[in-house]
Chain A
Amino acid sequence: MVETVLLVGIVASLFVGFNIGGSSTGIAWGPAVGAGILGKTTAAALMTFFVFLGGWTVGRNVMDTLAGDIIAIEISLTAGVAVLFFIGLGILIANVFGVPVPTSMTTVGAIAGLGLATDTLNVEVIGWIITWWAVTPVIGFWVGATIGRYVYPELNRRFEIRNSAGPLLVLDRNGSVPLPSFGPNTTFQELGGTIVVLVVGCYMAFSAGASNVPNAVAPLVSSGALSEEPAIVLATVAIGFGGFTIARRTMESVGGELSDIPLLAALIVMITASTITTLLSWAGIPISLVMGSVMTIVGLGWGRATRPITAREAIRGNTDTELSMGALRAEPDAPVTQIGEEESEQALDASDLFNPRAVVKYLSMWIIGPSMSTALAYGFFTTLELF
């Protein structure tokens, strides 16, 4: 009996991990693959390795939170498996409908539902987690907006990632020892840019491991059916499998969203999101990559769209922002461009792109999602009394 339940639990774990692998590989490697810097298979391999590293090190802190701190009692294996099913269900709904509900939120929600049903919920821990969930988007937005407004144009001028024809590096066999040297068309900038993209991808994969490995296996660890080390390996295998398979598609869907923004901006988003995710995971706060990413993206765009200087001045780079605060966003004497049949009576206002209500509506998903998973798990456990 116990073996059967454990087997079901492992299958559920694999399902959860597999889906996590799909989505987080998409985020971590979509931009690099999209830029043609590496292939999807290489990306999946790097992903698997760094997810393991993240899960094995920083991820243990999150594991402790999920498997022990949120609810006071040891949960039964059956309850753990049921929690995994709710996590899986959340992911399934998110994938099928394209709703951006972070896995970490579903996981904490389901475990909290069990805690409520058994009256063993550690309110202090939950409060602490929710506080960070509320703060994270704000931090992301602030970082994004600051960079987008003041730093991005300058960075954009200096940083160029090209992918020239021919191999990046070739082996120079002219000397006594073969040495790698630049391929045809390769420049210093290109080599540097490529290295940065790879390093940032690995960093993001690491943070994905730190934050997401516990989601897939914590309920099993919590019930004592699986100890931490094999659980981390199990999750890594599942995530890696997702990375090698469905990530081929998510690199275009999830990663495609990141590819809609310039690669430099994607890198800024990835660095910010990975740093937030790694730090919070280290502090034992369950968090998903997407939570740090989305508001950084919005911040970048918004910061740049609402900057009080005109594009021309920004390119010249010698504006006194203080003085031009009240300046019109569009240059009044700029010629009205009429290309083909397209007419634009008023100048385009980029700040139209970020309707606050649409952003709020989007973020409301982050309240509805975990609330639903808590409510479902609570209802389920109180009805069936499985614990």
Chain B
Amino acid sequence: MVSRVLVPMDDSEMSEHALEYALEVYPDAEITVLTVVGEPSSMWGKATGLALADNLEEAAEEAARSIFERAREIVSDADGDADLETVYELGHPVRAIINRADDYETVVIGSHGGTIADNLYVGNVAKKVVHQSPVPVVVVR
């Protein structure tokens, strides 16, 4: 039985589907939502904004907050009492996910995040995670 599941999330609908799927299929698992802040963007404003913050930790938490709130909403909508853990990482999504994946039994990820531009800056995250993950990956559409 799968007991530890990692669900990487961004602000895309796909990643919400991933969480919904994980809640449904692994109802008893401990689910960790991972989000990456300060990812590459069109002028690197997000990354630099964090780097220049007086308190990096505070700023990163602030940036991650809305994703976590959304995740908790989804959990309560699914009226699961699932134990939701939340973590954030800085920088590049693929690297962050792969680094974490070792501690989990499965990664459940949305098939793609937002726009073509995002794809350009960070690549197709799901695809790269599938290729590089040390544990099985479920890709949700």
| A and B together in one complex | yes
Q: Which A residues are closer than 8 A to B by beta carbons?
A: 97-100, 148, 152, 156, 253-254, 256-262, 265, 290, 293-294, 297-298, 300-302, 304-305, 311, 337, 339, 341-344, 348-350, 352-355, 358-359, 361-362, 365
Chain A CB within 8 A of B87 CB: yes
Which of chain A's residues have a CB closer than 8 A to the CB of B121? 358, 361-362
Tell whether, in the assembled complex, residue B115 and residue A98 are in contact, meaning their CB atoms are under 8 Å apart: yes
Instruction: Find out whether the CB atom of A300 lies under 8 angstroms from the CB atom of B84.
Output: no
Query: B43 to A339, Cβ gap below 8 A?
Result: no
Q: How far is the CA of A58 from the CA of B107 in the complex (A)?
A: 56
In Å, the complex CA distance between A298 and B47 comes to 8
Chain A contacts of B57 at CB under 8 A? 337, 344, 348
Q: How far is the CA of A362 from the CA of B50 in the complex (A)?
A: 19
Contact B52 A148 (CB under 8 A): yes
- Establish whether residues A254 and B50, one from each chain, have CB atoms under 8 Å apart when the complex forms: no
Q: Do the beta carbons of B43 and A293 come within 8 Å of each other? A: yes
A261 touching B45 in the complex, CB below 8 Å, given contacts A300-B52, A343-B85: yes
- Tell me whether B117 and A99 are in contact (CB under 8 A): yes
User: Which residues does chain A contribute within 8 Å of B1, judged by CB atoms?
Assistant: none
Interchain nearest-CB distance for B73 vs A (Å): 15
Q: Which residues of B contact A254 (CB under 8 A)?
A: 42-43
Query: Are B52 and A261 closer than 8 Å at their CB atoms?
Result: yes
> Of residues A261, A262, A265, which shows the largest number of chain B Cβ atoms within 10 Å of its Cβ?
A261
B56 on interface, CB distance cutoff 8 Å: yes
In the complex, what residue of chain A is closest to B83 when comparing beta carbons?
A: A341
Instruction: Given A339-B61, A344-B57, A355-B91, verify A261-B49 contact (CB < 8 Å).
Output: yes
B interface with A by C-beta (< 8 Å): 38, 40-57, 60-61, 64, 68, 84-92, 95, 115-117, 120-123
Which of A257, A262, A290 is most buried by chain B, counting CB atoms within 10 A of its CB?
A257
A148-B52, A301-B52, A348-B56 known; A99 and B90 CB under 8 Å?
Answer: no
Contact B52 A152, beta carbon cutoff 8 Å: yes
Contact B90 A342 (CB under 8 A): no
Given A97-B120, A344-B57, A365-B120: A261 in contact with B88 (beta carbons within 8 A) = no
27 contacts between A and B (CB under 8 A): A100-B42, A148-B51, A148-B52, A156-B54, A254-B42, A259-B45, A260-B49, A261-B52, A265-B52, A294-B44, A298-B44, A300-B48, A301-B51, A311-B54, A311-B55, A342-B61, A342-B64, A342-B87, A343-B87, A344-B87, A348-B56, A350-B90, A352-B89, A352-B92, A353-B47, A361-B121, A365-B120
Which A residues are CB-close (under 8 A) to B47? Answer: 298, 301, 353-354
| Chain B positions within 8 Å of A301 at CB level | 44, 47-52
Q: How far is the CA of A241 from the CA of B26 in the complex (A)?
A: 55
Chain B neighbourhood of A359, CB < 8 A: 40, 44
- Interfacial chain B residues near A265, Cβ < 8 Å: 48, 52
Taking the nearest CB of chain A, how far is it from the CB of B63, in angstroms?
A: 9
* Known pairs A344-B57, A353-B91, A355-B95; A257 contacts B43 (CB<8 A): yes
* Interfacial chain B residues near A98, Cβ < 8 Å: 42, 115-117, 120
Chain B residues within an 8 Å CB radius of A260: 41, 45-46, 48-49
Closest to B32 in A: A343
4 A-B pairs closest in CB distance: A98-B117, A301-B48, A257-B45, A260-B45
Partner of A258, one of B45, B84, B88: B45
Please report the C-alpha to C-alpha distance between residue A343 and residue B56 in the assembled complex, in whole angstroms: 15
Q: Is the CB of A342 within 8 A of B88?
A: yes
Contact (Cβ within 8 A) A353 B38 = yes
A37 to chain B, nearest CB (A): 19
CA distance A277 to B111 in the complex (A): 41
Q: Taking the nearest CB of chain B, how far is it from the CB of A302, in angstroms?
A: 7
CB distance B86 to A297 under 8 Å? no
Contacts of A348 in B (CB 8 A): 56-57, 60, 90
Residues of B within 8 A of A354 (CB): 44, 47, 51, 91
Given contacts A344-B57, A348-B60, A353-B90, 13 further A-B contacts (CB under 8 A): A100-B42, A100-B43, A148-B52, A256-B45, A265-B52, A301-B52, A311-B54, A342-B88, A350-B50, A350-B56, A352-B95, A353-B51, A361-B123
Q: Which of B43, B49, B117 has its CB near the most chain A CB atoms (within 10 A)?
A: B43
B42 touches A355 (CB 8 A): no
Interchain CA distance A152-B54 in the complex, whole Å = 11
A298 touches B92 (CB 8 A): no
* Bound CA span A304–B54, Å: 11
* A298, B116: Cβ atoms closer than 8 Å: no
Which of chain B's residues has its CB closest to A341's CB?
B86
Q: Which residue of A lies closest to B91 (CB)?
A: A352
B residues within 8 A CB of A156? 54
**Interfacial chain A residues near B53, Cβ < 8 Å:** 262
Residue from A152, A261, A349 in contact with B90 in the complex, judged by beta carbons closer than 8 Å: A349
